[in-house]
Amino acid sequence: MTVDPSILERIIPSAEEKERINRVADEIREKACQELARRNLDAEVRLMGSVAKGTYLCDPDLDIFLLFPPDFPSSRLEEEGLAIGDAILKGEKMYADHPYIRGIYQGLEVDMVPCYDICDTSCLQSAVDRTPFHTRFILENLDEKMRDQARVLKAFMKGVGTYGAEPQTRGFSGYLIELLVWHYGSFQSVLEAASKWKEGLVLGDGIKNQSMQGPLVVYDPVDRRRNVASAVHVDTFALFITAARAYLRHPSSLFFFPVPRTPLTMDEVKQRMDGRGSRLLTVSFSRPCINHENLEAQMWKAEEGLAKVLESLGFHVLGSAHVVEDGLIFAFELEDDVLPPVRLHVGPPVWVSEAERFLHKWKEMGLDRPTIKNGRWQVMVARDPRDAVSLLQGEKERISLGQNMDVESMCVHGHQDSLQADMAVVLSRLLDRRYPWEIPEPQAE
Amino acid sequence: MTVDPSILERIIPSAEEKERINRVADEIREKACQELARRNLDAEVRLMGSVAKGTYLCDPDLDIFLLFPPDFPSSRLEEEGLAIGDAILKGEKMYADHPYIRGIYQGLEVDMVPCYDICDTSCLQSAVDRTPFHTRFILENLDEKMRDQARVLKAFMKGVGTYGAEPQTRGFSGYLIELLVWHYGSFQSVLEAASKWKEGLVLGDGIKNQSMQGPLVVYDPVDRRRNVASAVHVDTFALFITAARAYLRHPSSLFFFPVPRTPLTMDEVKQRMDGRGSRLLTVSFSRPCINHENLEAQMWKAEEGLAKVLESLGFHVLGSAHVVEDGLIFAFELEDDVLPPVRLHVGPPVWVSEAERFLHKWKEMGLDRPTIKNGRWQVMVARDPRDAVSLLQGEKERISLGQNMDVESMCVHGHQDSLQADMAVVLSRLLDRRYPWEIPEPQAE
């Protein structure tokens, strides 16, 4: 089984497109060299990333690296790197280990990144110093045909929603995708293998360490202490397995080029909820001024933190979702959003000294006398309030949010209040459980 | 602080009472000797238990032991023991390690028990062979005054509901009570110590073994491998601590002679439930023909088993109780007895082979598509039925009951059906959470 030629045609850039990209890359490299000469700096300019490796899709980003000698002072590396990037790109300052400049040049997004030209990954000064080794490894180990296979796998990962190591996707980086093709040989064989993957898979040889806890470990062939798949979340891993199985069963272009999802209308949302009997809860926060990646990581953490507190209060979370819009919005589907009027409050064992205080307090406030169960005091107490909105508000200090999120801006909306037009996107994400490849093409009239 | 003389007077038998008891004991012993002689048997008759030890309360049981030589055949020991008991008591056959006869003689309950006259507890042939050693130990180590202290502690334990090692009480045996007095010196000092007891207490020296898991270990001074307190449940342990503290704070005769509890009327039951909002559930079974002790042990097991299944179904048990009447009845107080219409059904990890079967089944039956969470498939399903009665009935094969209980006779009653006159006793036990000493004396008119 091979990928349909009409699909390949849409994935692999044409000769003209390749030429255009290379021309732009050469132009920038030339300019950077001139800037370095003008400043009397002994550094090398090198094209990196997917364009250098020949594994890029349409409209790739360009990664231009400025390689300074290892003894070049770190503060000057930053300063000169930013100045050169700024002179050519007039872009924005971005942050990785070191700041760098991102801008647009002739319609392409360009990152200009200063790093150290080291001879060995054991002398790393920052994570970007590893990139030149990755580029070289792929160029030396993947021939033209395999690079195209990497492009196909990348397009598939993009289509099914597993591409990208950033917190939003928690998925497979470009380099990881290239290594998978190198390991298994082709797009098809990666998918066949993935359809049989199990959690805890290890590919390649390396030096195992404690932090390699994820569902997938792929040792970096240029640095055996590193897991290239460390960003892959178990749910992204499972999603890729699911997508691979689905594609092998019924291959289709929808895996590569899914139909964009139209958010559910509020009528559709209401229809789904009516038939079901579950309850909605939405929680919004003001949006902090931090970069998108960092914010996404905090969104995942907060979604988990909110769900945890809801569960600890006695609610059962059926599903959850989040979006970043003007504000941050989280949506939860709950079994029920009002708890029964009574609950059991479990206290300390009878023999500890706090027991007297517990008894004293609850003899008055309990609905009944405290009793002993499994050696502990317990007492029936009235639940007041009983609704999810008030209960969650009351526990807001206990929710583990992202560090830049403002708990004071938290606003909790009950079922009816959540069924508003401005919640359509987050509710759609919560309730539209179709995979990207399951969304049908619009019917021609 | 000493115990009020008017209380002591009610606890310690009078000289006349003692004389009467001794006379009856002598009489039975005499008769047993005659029976042995008549049968040409070389065995000794000895009075055991609380009467022999001088630690009995009013209307004690008499324990008459027939001590046979260790080489006497076990089958004949049974046969002759039963025949002699039967000849004197015309009583009922009871079962311990060996069968024995229980009957009434001049108004006193008498057990006539055959055992082996061994020289050392390491040569035990059955548990009753240990009894003569217990009797001798107490006689040698507790003087007249301390025996009376044991009587006071026994009366206290009886009053507060912690006396008796049988499954109904899960508490302190007579011998254990005597050892506590021996260990601490007096009734008062046992209570003072108990008010500071903690779970895991060990008294005396002995040979620890794996099975000594309870809240209290008291090594048997006549057999260091044995925990005399092995029957003490953690809740009985906690109850005794609580009673000791309460008595030391406000001593009263109510701890020794509690006012009998009048079951709540159904009106009182309804009143309590109305104010509270929780829900009742009762479960009844036909009564199997087994002895009371064995049945009580099975009742505790079944109460726990029923509560466990209710919790696993999603209900929250606030309290439970049981009674043995014409049938077996269990009562539960639940937070709520109807669950929400939807629930999450968590399936296997995506990568196991059962996953395909799960998907296949729930794609049709689920309320929505299965989704991946933490690497596992999960799906929202309609809960049907949703009420505790139907759900518990549906899970009856899964309930861990006592081995002689008939699951087919199980009958589950919902809230309204439980509010019937014939449930008064079990509901009273469930809802009247007062300790025995908290029930006030009826007011004189």
Secondary structure of chain A in the HEC alphabet? CCCCHHHHHHHCCCHHHHHHHHHHHHHHHHHHHHHHHHCCCCCEEEEEHHHHHCCCCCCCCEEEEEEECCCCCHHHHHHHHHHHHHHHHCCEEEECCCEEEEEEECCEEEEEEEEECCCCHHHCCCHHHHHHHHHHHHHHHCCHHHHHHHHHHHHHHHHHCCECCCCCCCCECHHHHHHHHHHHCCHHHHHHHHCCCCCCEEECCCCCCCCCCCCEEEEECCEEEEECCCCCCHHHHHHHHHHHHHHHHCCCHHHCCCCCCCCCCHHHHHHHHHCCCCEEEEEEEECCCCCHHHHHHHHHHHHHHHHHHHHHHCCCEEEEEEEECCEEEEEEEECCCECCCEEEEEEEECCCCHHHHHHHHHHHHCCCCCEEECCEEEEEEECCCCEHHHHHHHCHHHCCCCCCCCHHHCEEECHHHHCCHHHHHHHHHHHCCCCHHHCCCCCCC
> Which residue do the tokens 């892959």 mark?
A232
* CATH superfamily for domain B266-338+386-437: Poly(A) polymerase predicted RNA binding domain (3.30.70.590)
Chain B CB contacts of A342 under 8 Å are 276-278, 318, 335
- Mean pLDDT on A251-272: 93
Q: What is the nearest CA distance from B375 to chain A, expressed in angstroms?
A: 5
Name the residue ranges covered by the structural domains of chain A. Answer: 8-128, 142-255, 266-338+386-437, 342-382
Using CB atoms, which residue from B235, B318, B368 is nearest to A433? B368
Using CB atoms, which residue from A242, A277, A371 is nearest to B342? A277
Q: What is the nearest CA distance from B49 to chain A, expressed in angstroms?
A: 31
A375·B278 Cβ contact <8 A: no
Using CB atoms, which residue from A277, A351, A368 is nearest to B197? A351
Is the pLDDT at A1 greater than 80? The verdict is: no
CA distances B178 to B53, B97, B218, Å, are 10, 24, 12
d(CA A278, CA B381): 11
d(CA B359, CA A48): 43
Better-scored residue on pLDDT, B121 or A407: A407
A199·B433 Cβ contact <8 A: no
- Mean pLDDT on B130-140: 94
Q: Given pLDDT bands bounded at 50, 70 and 90, which one contains residue B2?
A: confident
Q: Given pLDDT bands bounded at 50, 70 and 90, which one contains residue A275?
A: confident
Fold for the domain defined by A142-255: Poly(a)-polymerase, middle domain (1.10.1410)
Is the pLDDT at B92 greater than 90? The verdict is: no
- Mean pLDDT on B325-352: 95
**Total residues belonging to chain B:** 445
Render pLDDT for A169-196 as a digit per residue (tens, 0 to 9). Answer: 899 999 999 999 999 999 999 999 999 9
Is the pLDDT at A443 greater than 90? The verdict is: no
Q: What is the nearest CA distance from A279 to chain B, expressed in angstroms?
A: 10
A342-382 matches A266-338+386-437 in CATH topology: yes
Q: What CATH class is the domain A342-382?
A: alpha beta
Q: Given pLDDT bands bounded at 50, 70 and 90, which one contains residue B120?
A: confident
In the prediction, which pLDDT does B30 show? Answer: 94
Render pLDDT for A192-222 as a digit per residue (tens, 0 to 9). Answer: 999 999 999 999 988 888 778 889 999 999 9
Is the pLDDT at B444 greater than 70? The verdict is: no
Render pLDDT for A307-332 as a digit per residue (tens, 0 to 9). Answer: 999 999 999 999 999 999 999 999 99
Q: For chain A, give the mean pLDDT.
A: 92
Chain A CB contacts of B197 under 8 Å are 351
Using CB atoms, which residue from B235, B343, B433 is nearest to A369? B433
- Mean pLDDT on A155-159: 97
pTM assigned to the model: 0.80
Render pLDDT for A60-102 as a digit per residue (tens, 0 to 9). Answer: 999 999 999 988 998 888 899 899 998 898 878 887 777 889 9
Chain A CB contacts of B373 under 8 Å are 235
In the prediction, which pLDDT does A291 show? Answer: 83
In the prediction, which pLDDT does A90 show? Answer: 85
Q: In which region does residue B106 sit, left (phi positive, over 0), alpha (psi from -120 to 50) or beta (all else)?
A: left
Cβ proximity of B334 and B411 under 8 Å: no
Render pLDDT for B24-61 as a digit per residue (tens, 0 to 9). Answer: 999 999 999 999 999 999 899 999 999 999 999 988 99
In the prediction, which pLDDT does A126 show? Answer: 80
B372·A336 Cβ contact <8 A: no
Task: Give me the sheet containing B317-324, strands edge to edge.
Answer: B317-324, B327-334, B279-286, B411-413
Q: What is the nearest CA distance from B112 to chain A, expressed in angstroms?
A: 37
B430: nearest CA in chain A?
Answer: A371
Q: What is the nearest CA distance from B155 to chain A, expressed in angstroms?
A: 22
Enter the DSSP assignment of B265: P
In the prediction, which pLDDT does A118 show? Answer: 87
* ipTM of the shown complex: 0.86
In the prediction, which pLDDT does B231 show? Answer: 93
Task: Look at residues B170, B162, B158, B297 and name the one whose alpha carbon lies nearest to residue B239.
Answer: B162
Task: Look at residues B132, B108, B112 and name the one whose alpha carbon lies nearest to residue B52.
Answer: B132
- Mean pLDDT on A427-442: 93
Q: Which residues of A touch B (CB under 8 A)?
A: 196-199, 215, 234-235, 237-239, 241-242, 275-278, 316, 318-319, 335-336, 339-344, 349-352, 367-369, 371-376, 380, 431, 433-434
In the prediction, which pLDDT does B445 show? Answer: 57
Positive or negative torsion for Cα A138, A139, A141, A144: positive
Residues in a beta bridge with A334: A279, A317
Using CB atoms, which residue from A316, A336, A373 is nearest to B344? A316
Q: Give the tokens for residue A56.
A: 């890029």
Using CB atoms, which residue from A198, A234, A276 is nearest to B342? A276
Which listed CATH number (3.90.1150.180, 3.30.360.10, 3.30.460.10, 3.40.190.10) goes with B8-128?
3.30.460.10
Q: Give the Cβ contact number of residue A247 at 10 Å.
A: 24
Render pLDDT for A365-392 as a digit per residue (tens, 0 to 9). Answer: 888 899 999 999 999 999 999 999 999 9
In the prediction, which pLDDT does A444 show? Answer: 66
